[in-house]
Amino acid sequence: MEKYIILIFCKDKQGIIADFTQSIYSNNGNITYIDQYVDKENNNFFMRTEIEFNNKSDFKKFNLFFVNGPVKKYNINYDISLKYYNSKVGIYVSKYNHCLYDIISRTKSDELQIEISFIISNHIDLKNIADKFSIPFYHIPVSKSNKLDAEKKQLDILNKYNPDLIILARYMQILEDKVISNFKNKIINIHHSFLPAFPGGRPYHKAFERGVKIIGATSHYVTNELDGGPIIEQDIIRISHIHNIESLINKGKDLEKVVLSRAIKLHIEKKILVHLNKTVIFN
């Protein structure tokens, strides 16, 4: 059995689903999962399907049929990928180790179907973890004076590995524009607040100042706007007056790990469609 995931985006029109499903059926394919969403306000059509074919040849026939038929007829943007595929992932870290440990643990316990290809860090602190798990570790310090040089070094590594996903696992630097533009909708950051509340630095300090009763974490794709990219996942935990900043930071760690790992899972399982700075999550 050949299993594929197909993501589709186009303007909404009568007949898309009928034509699409017909194109699968008539080529001996089987739809095992279909999730579809129409944004009525903007007349947009989004769909995620999982399909299976008895052999590669049938899939190829379908593919030809689909690309020359529905794709042209409805002007469809699409993405077809194999369902079972170990995504190659690069991780950026600084000094905090909880997200890195969490991603590694989930990989080891088969929760995340990824291969961690490399780790980049502006600090040397977490190299011992990389070594323990035999993951290539690149120490690229970043300062005001060496930004361009650091960017070049990063790009060299990124080009070498060409990862399917880059994870900023509490990387405390802003990425350079070229890295962002080269990996559009492929860089996921975890921000330790409930965006759009408390963007930028020291969100736990700001939350403490304001006296909120809940703190949050947000995973999002990285764009040029700081903490302004498409939100993938958010979650929260209750706090109270008894929590000082230190305990907020500690409580938040749990949240950051969970919210980041959910976003990673959604990305590698091709469950996210980005449109106009918002995400459609097929879940």
Task: Write the interaction track for a copy of itself spanning residues 195-234; mark x where CB under 8 A is met and - where it is not.
Answer: xxxx-----------xxxxx-x-------------xxxxx
Asked if residue 229 lies in contact with residue 189, where contact means CB atoms within 8 angstroms, the answer is: yes
Q: Residues 58, 156, 227, 235: which is the catalytic one?
A: 227
User: What is the rounded distance in angstroms from the CA atom of residue 103 to the CA atom of residue 97?
Assistant: 10
Least distance (Å) between residue 176 CB and a copy of itself? 25
Q: Compare residues 147 and 278 and give the one whose CB is closer to a copy of itself.
A: 278
Least distance (Å) between residue 136 CB and a copy of itself? 18
254 part of the interface to a copy of itself, by CB under 8 A: yes
**Residue 102 among the catalytic residues:** no
Strands 114-121 and 137-139: parallel
Least distance (Å) between residue 124 CB and a copy of itself? 16
Q: How buried is residue 208: exposed, middle or buried, by Cβ count under 10 Å (0-12/13-18/19+)?
A: buried
Please give the DSSP secondary-structure letter assigned to residue 76.
-
Q: Compare residues 132 and 144 and give the one whose CB is closer to a copy of itself.
A: 132
Maximum Cα–Cα distance for the chain, whole Å?
64
Q: Within a 10 A sphere around the Cβ of 47, how many other Cβ atoms?
A: 22
> DSSP characters for 121-171?
ESSSTTHHHHHHTT--EEE----GGGHHHHHHHHHHHHHHH--SEEEESS-
Judged by CB under 8 A, the residue of 119, 165, 188, 280 near a copy of itself is: 280
Q: What residues have CB less than 8 Å from 262, skipping those under 6 apart?
A: 219, 232, 233, 235
132 part of the interface to a copy of itself, by CB under 8 A: yes
**Site residues for a copy of itself, window 234-253 (CB under 8 A)?**
234-236, 240-242, 244, 250, 253
Asked if residue 80 lies in contact with residue 63, where contact means CB atoms within 8 angstroms, the answer is: yes
81 part of the interface to a copy of itself, by CB under 8 A: no
Q: Compare residues 92 and 208 and give the one whose CB is closer to a copy of itself.
A: 208
Active site residues: 227
Name the residues that contact a copy of itself, by CB under 8 A: 14-15, 17-19, 21-22, 24-26, 28-41, 96-98, 101-102, 104-106, 108-109, 111, 132-133, 194-198, 210-214, 216, 230-236, 240-242, 244, 250, 253-254, 258, 277-281, 283
